[in-house]
Structure 1
Amino acid sequence: MSEQLNTLLEPVIDITRSAGDAIMEIYQKDFSIYEKSDESPLTEADLAAHKIIVQRLADISDYPILSEESADISWQERQTWQTYWLVDPLDGTKEFIKKNGEFTVNIALIHQGSPVLGVVNAPAINEIYAGVIGGSCFKEHSDKSRNALQPANSTQAQQLKVVGSRSHQSPEIAGFLEALGKDSELVAMGSSLKLCLVAEGKAHLYPRLGPTSEWDTAAAHAVVNAAGGKVTLMQQNDAGIWQDSGDELLYNQKESVLNPYFLVSA
């Protein structure tokens, strides 16, 4: 399958660019003009990107598609899927509304529960993260230059850079970090870019002890794995402290599309 994945990567990158362009057309407008309209700018951008992605993915493969904007596919149907596209047309709704640029277009290919290809496009800041398991993994910059992604070594770090909330860490996260026995520095970021920070070595860890859906994480998860990192489930020990279970976060294994708590690490 690796040869097929490498063949699909560039077309998927192009699809995220087209979806990103459609989002940016709306993002650059004055949001106040929408106040008397039934459709919010967020909804319009989301649906515009979704339409482009679904149409274009159907042109390059016969795999089924699960998108946040078409999530009403039954579990009876989904559980038969071995390989499928998992899409979030616009991840980072708060970032979009605040206009801070930290929102993304996410497309992942899932095979037997694991993300094997992923593209995360942040159109407002002209950055794309892309990766294929067993193949290329890179960040594309605004000038179209690309550099390979390499996670940082947390075992040698004096201080851990930890991705988290812009406001404050929950007591659960604080307990997890304290149990690591190292000083930590907060690295704030929005949307699926949190996982990408670990993939490119700008952060060591991203503990997620809050709700996410499978389409929120899958594309960036593939990038992390392709870069040599990992996304594993978190579990509580006897003292109630959350810790790494070592088991990989998987997709389409249950009726709910909500993820369990997880840890992104090098």
Structure 2
Amino acid sequence: MMPSSAVLPDGVNQEALLTELRRLSWGAADILRAYARGEQPPHGFPKALSVDDGGEGPVSAADLAVNKWLLDGLSSSFDDADWTLLSEETAKEQLTEGEPLPAEWLWILDPLDGTKDFLQGTGEYAVHLALVRGRRPVLGVVLLPEADELWIGIVGEGAWCEDRQGERSPVRFSDRTAVSDLILVASRSHRDDRLVKLIDALELGGSKAVGSVGYKVATILRGETDLYVSLSGKSAPKDWDMAAPEAVLLAAGGRFTHSDQADLTYNTGDVRQAGCLIASHGKAHAELGERATRAMAEIDPGFQV
């Protein structure tokens, strides 16, 4: 792959960046898998202490370790790069409500997407790394440590999956195009009455319950499912939940928008990704959006999709 000035800041070589992202991703996988199993993590990180023993527990320990691993790695490998690093763990220190970060290029990282799945041992957790230019993602990495899958997407160039040996597999969207045949990937938790009504109104072909957002989007990329719907309520997903999965899905030719087809935007001064959001393989995206927007007008009048 040739370096792309449209995708990366000046002076950053695309192949060198991908090589480092692979190293950081598989290192993060080793760290998370060790914490998930109660084993000694690599790269000098301490073994997790339970809350009862005065520690913060495996989730916090894993979160913090992977956060440091990713931030230190990107900072040291590309110390001259004209980008800013933001993660879920550093957001409180870095962000001021209503004020975007003064950065044209911004990494948005989630060291552990799917903490419940990590704790419950489902294996359906992920690591997200997204490079955003302006308010839109241009490159994304979604790592599934337990599945041994590293999804990489470069918007405008393509997306693929790699294993630890670097063997590539292509994106395999399903051939399903009729809305009545489409398979929804949904959460096991975070479901409310409005979402149940919305899903019923879409009149889909079936559903599958899966954990983290990154893992959900991977099921679309594999062709196991066709769409994911996020409906905000008292809480909403954040930039770091959506940026990397969106980048990979976009690079693969899919769509990830509000139901009215408006783009998701990042680094706006509000990290909440509120509204009715639809990720799909793109083959019936407009119709899905129309159905969802129409349904939400009845389910929750005045709701901003």
Q: TM-score range by the shorter chain?
A: 0.7 to 0.9
Percent identity between the two aligned chains: 31
Show the counterpart of 1:230. 255
Instruction: Confirm whether residue 52 of structure 1 aligns to residue 69 of structure 2.
Output: yes
CA apart distance, 1:214: 0.8
CA apart distance, 1:70: 0.6
Change (3 A) 1:110 1:143: same
CA apart distance, 1:62: 3.8
What TM-score comes out, normalization by structure 1 length? 0.86
Q: Deviations over 1:138-159 (max 9, x none)?
A: 1224664221214335534652
- Aligned partners of 1:139 and 1:27: how far apart in 2? 23
- Aligned partners of 2:191 and 2:89: how far apart in 1? 30
- Does the CA contact (< 8 Å) of 2:35 and 2:48 recur in 1? no
2:133 maps to which of 98, 111, 122: 111
1:68 maps to which of 84, 88, 102: 88
- Aligned partners of 2:31 and 2:240: how far apart in 1? 20
Q: How many residues align?
A: 254
Instruction: Confirm whether residue 135 of structure 1 aligns to residue 157 of structure 2.
Output: yes
Query: Relative to total residues, which structure has the larger strand share, 1 or 2?
Result: 1
Q: Which has the higher contact order (CA 8 A, sep 6+)?
A: 1
Higher mean displacement: 112-121 or 153-162: 153-162
What TM-score comes out, normalization by structure 2 length? 0.75
2:32 maps to which of 3, 15, 23: 23
CA apart distance, 1:171: 3.2
Change (3 A) 1:263 1:157: closer
Show the counterpart of 2:122. 100
RMSD: 2.4
Instruction: Confirm whether residue 179 of structure 1 aligns to residue 194 of structure 2.
Output: no
- Does the CA contact (< 8 Å) of 2:49 and 2:57 recur in 1? no
CA apart distance, 1:17: 1.2
Instruction: Confirm whether residue 245 of structure 1 aligns to residue 251 of structure 2.
Output: no
- Aligned partners of 2:225 and 2:250: how far apart in 1? 15
Higher mean displacement: 164-173 or 128-137: 164-173
- Does the CA contact (< 8 Å) of 2:7 and 2:139 recur in 1? no
CA apart distance, 1:168: 8.9
- Aligned partners of 1:12 and 1:129: how far apart in 2? 11
5+ residue gaps, structure 2: 40-46, 282-305
The letter for the 2-side match of 1:208 is S
